Amino acid sequence: MLTRSQSKINRVSFNVVIDFDESSREWNKNKTYLGNGTYEYKSGIALRSGKICNQQSDSKLRRSSRLSNR
């Protein structure tokens, strides 16, 4: 007697091709590398020109502005 996993009835095969280099590039588009394997999302705000703002998140901007005001 065949088990379900041994049965060739209802067995479907899928051919999936994943381009991991392209996936990595797309994943990194909206992130800034901070070092030590950590990333931070870019703001992602659309500008009037239609481009996406590449500045870092608000928390980092506020921290840097506090330091520059001293």
Is residue 26 pLDDT above 80, yes or no? yes
Model confidence at 9: pLDDT above 70 = no
- 49 part of a folded domain: yes
| Number of other residues whose CB lies within 10 A of the CB of residue 32 | 15
For residue 54, the model assigns a pLDDT of 66
Whole domain around residue 48: which residue ranges? 27-56
In a domain, 9, yes or no: no
Q: Is residue 46 part of a domain?
A: yes
Total residues found in the chain within this entry: 70
Instruction: Identify the CA nearest to 51 among candidates 26, 24, 30, 28.
Output: 30
Q: Is 17 inside a domain boundary?
A: no
Which pLDDT tens digit goes with each residue over 37-54?
Answer: 899 887 777 778 877 776
Domain assignment present for residue 48? The answer is yes
Share of the chain above pLDDT 70, in %: 67
Structural domain contains residue 45: yes
pLDDT, mean over the chain? 75
Q: Is residue 35 part of a domain?
A: yes
- What is the number of structural domains in the chain? 1
Domain membership of residue 40 (yes or no) is yes
Confidence of residue 31 (pLDDT cuts 50, 70, 90): confident
